[in-house]
Amino acid sequence: MTILCGTDFTPAAAEAVRVAALWCRATSEELVLAHALGEESDEPRARIEAQLAAESAALVEGGVGSRCALGTDPIDSELVRIARECAATLVVLGALGQRAGGSWKLGSTVDHVAMALRVPLVVVRAPAPLLEWLEGRRTLSAAIAYDASPAADAALAWAAALARIAPVRLVALHSYGLNEHCQKRGIRGPLPIGFADARIEEPLALELGERMRASAPGSQVRLVLRGGLGRPADQLVDMAAECACELLVIGNHHRAKLERAWRGSVTRGLIELAPASVACISAGE
C-alpha cells in the first residue's frame, strides 16, 4: 500500500511531504514522491532527478519507505496516472506550488487532481495540526461537510476511520437553503434568518442523524445545522472556522463534467476557500 505526494520543491510542497511521511509512518505504508517536468519545463532532467532522489533518500534515512516517480506531463495528469499505477490509498498535495509556464494555483493542479482522482486527496494548507496529530500529540478536530448524499456518507466514514491512526473529534456541518426548506415544510411568513427554526431543524437533525449513524456506526459525531440564502461553500467555511476545524472533509460525486458544473460546485468552493487543510473523498461512483 502506498501514499502518493506530489512535490515541486517549494516550501508548501515540503510541508506536504512532511505530512505524507508521518502518515506513512503511522499507517506502515510506502511513500511515493512524485514530480512532473511538464511539457514547457526548461529544468535539466538530471538535476530534477537528483533533487527528487535526495528527498527520497532523506525520508528513507528517517525511517519512511520511499521511492520516486518522475514524469514529463503536467503534474495534475501525472499524479492521477501514478496514483492509479501504484494503487495509492491517499494523495497529498501542498495548497500552493509552481508549474512550468506560471503559478501552480488551486484552480489548476489541485483543482484538476480533485476532479479526476478516485482515492482520497489531502490538500495541506495548515500543516501543524496534522503533524502534531500524526505524532500522537493532539486530538484532530475534523469537520465534515455533510448532506444526504453518498459522497457525504463516504466523507464521514473516511473521517471516522482516522481514529485508527490517532484520536479525532468529529463534527458534521450541514448548510441548508432557507427558501427551499420553508417551502418544503409549509412555513409561511418572514424567513428565519439568523436563528434556528425548530420546524426545520428538528426533522432535519433526525433525518441526517439516522444517516450519519449508518455511515459511521459507533462514532461520536456532533451535528451543526445552519440555514442561509447565499452560497453553501461560503457558509460551510464560516461554520468550519467557528468549530475550530483543523481538517475539513468533503465528498466528491464525480459526476460527468458538464452535469456537475465543477466551477460552481460546493466541493471546489471548499477546496479553494477553507483556511484549514482539506480532504476530498471520492464517493466511489
| CATH (residue range 2-124) | 3.40.50.620
Q: What is the pLDDT of residues 162-175, one digit of tens each?
A: 999 999 999 999 99
Q: What is the pLDDT of residues 225-235, one digit of tens each?
A: 998 887 888 99
The one-letter amino acid at 269: G
Q: What is the pLDDT of residues 113-156, one digit of tens each?
A: 887 888 999 999 999 999 999 999 999 999 999 999 999 999 99
| CATH (residue range 128-282) | 3.40.50.620
On the question of a common fold for 2-124 and 128-282, the answer reads yes
What confidence score (pLDDT) does residue 254 get?
60
What confidence score (pLDDT) does residue 113 get?
83
What confidence score (pLDDT) does residue 101 get?
37
What confidence score (pLDDT) does residue 107 get?
47
Q: What is the pLDDT of residues 66-119, one digit of tens each?
A: 898 888 787 778 888 999 999 999 999 998 643 333 333 444 677 778 878 889
For the ranges 41-45, 69-73, 145-149, 255-259, which has the lowest average pLDDT?
255-259
Cβ-proximal residues to 98 (8 Å cutoff; 6+ apart), any chain: 8, 10, 104
Is the pLDDT higher at 164 or at 36? Answer: 164
Three cell numbers written together for 126: 495548515
- Cα separation, 252 vs 258, whole angstroms: 15
Q: What is the pLDDT of residues 269-283, one digit of tens each?
A: 888 888 999 999 987
- Cα separation, 26 vs 137, whole angstroms: 13
End-to-end CA distance of the chain: 22
Residue extents of the structural domains in the chain: 2-124, 128-282
Strands 66-71, 30-36: pairing is parallel
